[in-house]
Structure 1
């Protein structure tokens, strides 16, 4: 859709951006020159200045290239919770001209093995508590296996005494790993202060290879260059009015694109300050926002729902927050209203994916729509097409969201089959198929209608789970909701809702109460025929509810208990 037809395009935001032709590492050096003593990262009572960060990045790049033989274009696995060492390792790998392979800290050895084999990484940088998952893969004598691991302890560099009792034990744990061939201490490597390569990487060099979770089969590596990451990075800055004196809260995991951009690349590019948490803790987040006057926070709705349900949120001064943004799921209307009325904060919903380096669509900050992906942002083209014919659909019709833009990845790593099915030509341009069903209204705002395969077919009627979930959130007892499809002999599929109740309502309402209430608030075919209360809902590292996992579990459970058929 052309921006010329968008009546609510933010004033002062250009339709296209003049993107810098420099690598991400350029900004670490520039920030160190401009603001040498400014805090780059604040973590559990420690402060890392930009001058110190730059020195650590340079030293790690020198060690990787001169001691571990890392060459330009090599992939290096990075696996850790959020911490200053992660920041130095991330940019140190890039400064060496290599490619970061960020891995979820919760991965199993078999999953790590897949990432190593698929990416071809021979060197890894790992937090010490994750070594048990990596050590079986370390075989220095095998040129085709993992040959070296740089290890860090979070406690290295922390104050002698923790600043509060909220610091996790894993962060306070002292350095303790075996003396084994192939293991190298990250701080020991930095202490050698070996010079980095004379030349920085180029803007069109690969810099990060994040893997998508995937809907089927193995995860796929997304090939991003410094230029594609910067395109998304710069667009987010301009769109939301962020600047060098912004203070960012980095809670979303840095190994995921939301945290990588919103809590790492964007603030470092600006020369801003990052206040970092090793893992999600609502009370700690509230304390840090108040203490450091945090202005900017990127978080998924599930994290914010948990945050504002915590008593600490009401007890802290959150007035510094000026930009609260995220995506991954629709923000429930009732929660958005709570943020606006009680805290005076408007949640800026946006849309992006690993393949687009996060930021792609965004709601205009001054004129957002609720539960909306937003409009196209600078340099982006997005359309709605028929998933079968790939022909563009008219306004209002539901189809597959396809897109192109400077932030789009080059393609999937060594997976030509996936590239063939994901890219196609439209109007002489190459577009990417997101696999998301959406529609666009007459004002150019896009609305999610769920994944192509995330739909409940009830007697031929299509039910979008997100719509049912948003309605369920209006019930005062519901804290979290996940709607899935389960098979039914008569209707084909039934709508099932897995619900987490708020503590005050536990034992006070029944599953049937929720079913009866739903019948009064939505069409009969959308009403959940099965409701089950659960203590928690499983989530990804960035807070997205794992609906597919739940759907598979419930289908297996119901299949094993046919006597529990629903009416």
Structure 2
């Protein structure tokens, strides 16, 4: 996210624009909405659902209190870093007519893929259009055939770094030479659909291997967040004697109306079973007050693991 914010800020400043930042050390939806309203912000940079959901909660709470925020000045909302679901995008578009740009990149290279959503033009969760210099490759460095269902690794060429400073081993693993050209391959897996678009699966380093099956945490997190009571979710694998690794989730729940019951962990597990293959569903769900994320909005797996093991 540090790269995304820097690139967005430099672009705005280079044309004489003004960059508005927030004072708090952690993200606050109300603070952001106030900043947009008070400064007539036209472009907003966020970190997927990790920021979009608190923004929606602030908008809904302010409207219910009779003091709604005005965010109609927004023309573009740019996101990068974590998953931004179709459901959340659709809800954001109920509050403003901005163009929603979901970009896929990393510190090792930009321009992997992008997705654009507008009113009456929805964008499916984790579905992207490949960038000009991007491709999806198999273990042999060959392009994955569209519509084959084969998993491959995202790679990007063009204007990219050439390696990590004083780390030749990591450089060799990430910056691969294919047919005489250097490609950045940070480790994100995807499939290529028959129309050439890609379905992002997730980062291989976070992949859960349960009973020989690969489970990408992002897919399980999105299934959990489809439940109307779930505000945020973090999914990870933990050692398991039977399965090798088991799928586990830490979730936080949104406020519900008086008299309404919050879902139990077992109800949330059952909810995922209607949307995922059985082996992908969490074996355990732990409900917490707040799911911890890093300052860049990305999952804090170390914290989640400690919570589940405590």
Q: Could you say whether these structures have the same fold, taking a TM-score greater than 0.5 normalized by the shorter chain as the test?
A: yes
Q: Is the 8 A contact 1:286 1:313 kept in 2?
A: no
Q: Is the 8 A contact 2:72 2:95 kept in 1?
A: no
The answer to whether residue 272 in structure 2 is matched with residue 518 in structure 1 is yes
The answer to whether residue 56 in structure 2 is matched with residue 308 in structure 1 is yes
Q: Is the 8 A contact 2:238 2:246 kept in 1?
A: yes
SS of alignment partner, residue 267 of structure 2: helix
Using the TM superposition, give the Cα deviation of residue 443 of structure 1 relative to its aligned residue in structure 2, in angstroms. 3.1
Q: Is the 8 A contact 1:485 1:551 kept in 2?
A: no
Using the TM superposition, give the Cα deviation of residue 418 of structure 1 relative to its aligned residue in structure 2, in angstroms. 2.0
**Residue 145 (structure 2) aligned to one of 374, 386, 394:** 394
Using the TM superposition, give the Cα deviation of residue 360 of structure 1 relative to its aligned residue in structure 2, in angstroms. 4.2
Using the TM superposition, give the Cα deviation of residue 465 of structure 1 relative to its aligned residue in structure 2, in angstroms. 1.6
SS of alignment partner, residue 276 of structure 1: coil
Using the TM superposition, give the Cα deviation of residue 365 of structure 1 relative to its aligned residue in structure 2, in angstroms. 5.8
**Greater Rg over alpha carbons, structure:** 1
1:372 and 1:459 mapped to 2: Cα distance? 25
The number of residue pairs the alignment matches comes to 296
Partner of 1:258: 4
Structure 2 gaps of 5+ residues are none
1:362 and 1:509 mapped to 2: Cα distance? 35
**Residue 22 (structure 2) aligned to one of 277, 298, 305:** 277
| 1:22-421 matches, cutoff 5 A | 256-262=2-8, 264-279=9-24, 280-301=27-48, 302-311=50-59, 314=63, 315-356=68-109, 358-364=110-116, 369-372=123-126, 374-377=128-131, 380-386=132-138, 388-396=139-147, 397-406=150-159, 408-421=160-173
Relative distance call for 1:270 and 1:365 in structure 2 (3 A) is: farther
2:299 and 2:15 mapped to 1: Cα distance? 32
SS of alignment partner, residue 248 of structure 2: strand
| 1:397-476 matches, cutoff 5 A | 397-406=150-159, 408-476=160-228
TM-score, normalised with respect to structure 1: 0.49
Which has a greater percent of strand?
2
Partner of 1:241: none
Q: Is the 8 A contact 1:339 1:346 kept in 2?
A: no
The answer to whether residue 291 in structure 2 is matched with residue 537 in structure 1 is yes
1:44-64: CA deviation from partner (whole Å, max 9, x where unpaired): xxxxxxxxxxxxxxxxxxxxx
Structure 1 gaps of 5+ residues are 1-251, 559-567
Q: Is the 8 A contact 2:89 2:117 kept in 1?
A: no
Relative distance call for 1:467 and 1:296 in structure 2 (3 A) is: same
1:326 and 1:363 mapped to 2: Cα distance? 10
1:205-263: CA deviation from partner (whole Å, max 9, x where unpaired): xxxxxxxxxxxxxxxxxxxxxxxxxxxxxxxxxxxxxxxxxxxxxxx7xxx1122112x
SS of alignment partner, residue 232 of structure 2: strand
1:409 and 1:343 mapped to 2: Cα distance? 37
Q: Is the 8 A contact 1:349 1:373 kept in 2?
A: no
Which has a greater percent of helix?
1
